[in-house]
């Protein structure tokens, strides 16, 4: 969706909201209150606590209790699962005919394509739906209808270890050549991993996309068709293979076997000079006494013109017929206090205009401002395509081969691209 269309959509919904009044709902949309009878909604959510604690379960339990107090007759049954398991478990529940009423997971498109989800305008009041950041709302659309409701978001700048940079006498890079030069100096100073490049199967599709965007490419072209093996993308991976991996600047573990979690742990332990960072890493690094610097991702000739955004999704399933009750709960969940509570506690970004504005001016969240600044214009992966799950998995398993000493980026990207094009044609 281009900027003009996004703007018209946002202004149209906002104008409608203003005309109706912020507390009024539309017939057919979720109600903001009222007794819906004796209904229990099953909610399955992903675990965000990186410390092994129960902060995610506590958030949902507290939210459910606050909601139930205002909506007698509706109960919320909360089930929290690890990110390793949650998408699979929800898929198994749906396949078994036991879909949850609400799922907060990583993807929505397959369920939307199968007609299993309520659309956003069947669940949300106009003010709530209009309040999503336009890019995120657009990313939640399947065939021009929004089914995925963004829950939290993040963007990815370059993180660097300030102490290691000072010791090596280098400044934050703005171009790829500056990045390679800084990595070489860090290596000379004995830094174990000058630049962490996690292209292992945990989240290689995101790491790769950051580099593709910095090289002015991406997974899709201007017409939203896959363009995995474009000349621009091939050049990006040729640069990575030659100038970082080929010069032994990415550490002792081969990028294709190096996962994001291991890279983040190494950075928090002071063993990494630079990596493409994530908001949640800030807290972990601070606990270990690592002072983190942040700059926009370097590009071929200057700072990247486009940042990558990532969103996790929440959705309502039709199977149990609880449209009104699901709508009541989601309208409640998306008020500013609840959105800010979850995002702030997990060092993530709020997905609504009003909550983002509040976070941006809150001194408590000053460390997140660099992420917030680029979120409205960030580019998300093509999550609205039902083919993306298959393509993403293919990328995770194979993209690391493009940067091995004998790797041929054109061949690896070409193979991934052919699978992507075929999957898209089958949609």
Convert the pLDDT of each residue in 38-61 to its tens digit.
899 999 999 998 777 789 999 999
Residues 86/105, Cβ–Cβ less than 8 Å = yes
Higher pLDDT, 58 or 377: 58
What mean pLDDT do residues 131-149 have?
Answer: 96
The alpha carbon of 81 is separated from its chain's Cα centroid by a whole number of angstroms, namely 18
Instruction: Assign 301 to helix, strand or coil.
Output: coil
Encode burial over 187-210: b for 16+ CB neighbours within 10 A, e otherwise.
Answer: beeebebbbbbbbbbbbbbbbbbb
The encoded tokens of residue 152 equal: 């939290």
pLDDT of residue 391: 95
From CA 26, how far away is CA 19, in angstroms rounded? 12
pLDDT of residue 37: 53
Cβ contacts of 29 within 8 Å, gap of 6 or more: 121, 122, 123, 124, 125, 126, 327
From CA 38, how far away is CA 74, in angstroms rounded? 6
The DSSP bridge pattern shows strands 272-276 and 158-161 to be antiparallel
Kindly report the pTM of this predicted structure: 0.82
From CA 110, how far away is CA 29, in angstroms rounded? 23
- Chain segment 412-421, per-residue pLDDT in tens: 999 999 999 9
For the chain, the straight-line distance linking the first and the last C-alpha, in angstroms and rounded, comes to 19
Locate tokens 């071929």: which residue? 300
- Chain segment 231-286, per-residue pLDDT in tens: 999 999 999 999 999 999 999 999 999 999 899 999 999 999 999 998 889 888 99
Residues 43/105, Cβ–Cβ less than 8 Å = no
Instruction: Assign 84 to helix, strand or coil.
Output: coil
For the chain, give the mean pLDDT: 90
Q: pLDDT over 90 for what percent of the chain?
A: 81
Cβ contacts of 338 within 8 Å, gap of 6 or more: 63, 332
pLDDT score of 31 more than 80:
no
């Amino acid at each position: 969706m281009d900027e003009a269309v996004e703007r018209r959509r946002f202004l149209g919904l906002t104008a409608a909201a203003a005309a109706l009044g912020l507390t009024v709902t539309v017939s057919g949309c979720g109600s903001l209150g009222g007794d819906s009878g004796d209904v229990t909604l099953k909610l399955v959510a992903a675990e965000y606590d990186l410390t092994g604690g129960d902060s995610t379960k506590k958030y949902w339990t507290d939210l459910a209790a606050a909601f139930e107090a205002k909506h007698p007759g509706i109960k919320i049954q909360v089930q929290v699962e690890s990110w390793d398991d949650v998408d699979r478990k929800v898929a198994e529940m749906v396949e078994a005919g036991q879909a949850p009423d609400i799922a907060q997971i990583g993807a929505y498109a397959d369920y939307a394509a199968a007609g299993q989800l309520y659309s956003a305008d069947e669940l949300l009041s106009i003010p709530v739906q209009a309040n999503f950041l336009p890019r995120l709302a657009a990313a939640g659309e399947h065939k021009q209808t929004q089914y995925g409701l963004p829950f939290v978001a993040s963007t990815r700048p370059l993180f660097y270890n300030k102490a290691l940079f000072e010791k090596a006498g280098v400044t934050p890079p703005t171009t790829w050549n500056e990045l390679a030069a800084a990595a070489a100096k860090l290596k000379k100073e004995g830094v174990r991993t000058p630049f962490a490049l996690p292209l292992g199967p945990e989240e290689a599709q995101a790491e790769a996309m950051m580099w593709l965007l910095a090289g002015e490419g991406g997974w899709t072209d201007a017409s939203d068709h896959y363009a995995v093996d474009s000349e621009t993308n091939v050049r990006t991976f040729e640069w990575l293979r030659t100038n970082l991996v080929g010069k032994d600047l990415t550490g002792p573990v081969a990028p294709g076997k190096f996962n994001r979690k291991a890279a983040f742990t190494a950075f928090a332990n002071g063993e990494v000079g630079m990596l493409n960072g994530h908001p949640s890493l800030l807290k972990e690094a601070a606990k270990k006494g690592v002072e983190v610097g942040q700059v926009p991702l370097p590009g071929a000739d200057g700072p990247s013109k486009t940042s990558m955004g990532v969103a996790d999704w929440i959705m309502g399933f039709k199977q149990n017929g609880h449209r009104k009750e699901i709508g009541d709960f989601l309208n409640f969940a998306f008020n500013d206090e609840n959105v800010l509570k979850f995002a702030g506690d997990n060092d993530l970004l709020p997905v609504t205009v009003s909550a983002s504005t509040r976070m941006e001016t809150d001194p408590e969240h000053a460390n997140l401002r660099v992420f917030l600044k680029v979120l409205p214009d960030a580019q998300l992966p093509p999550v609205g395509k039902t083919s993306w799950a298959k393509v993403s998995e293919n990328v995770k398993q194979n993209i690391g081969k493009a940067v091995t000493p004998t790797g041929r980026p054109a061949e690896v990207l070409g193979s991934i691209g052919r699978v992507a094009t075929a999957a898209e044609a089958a949609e």
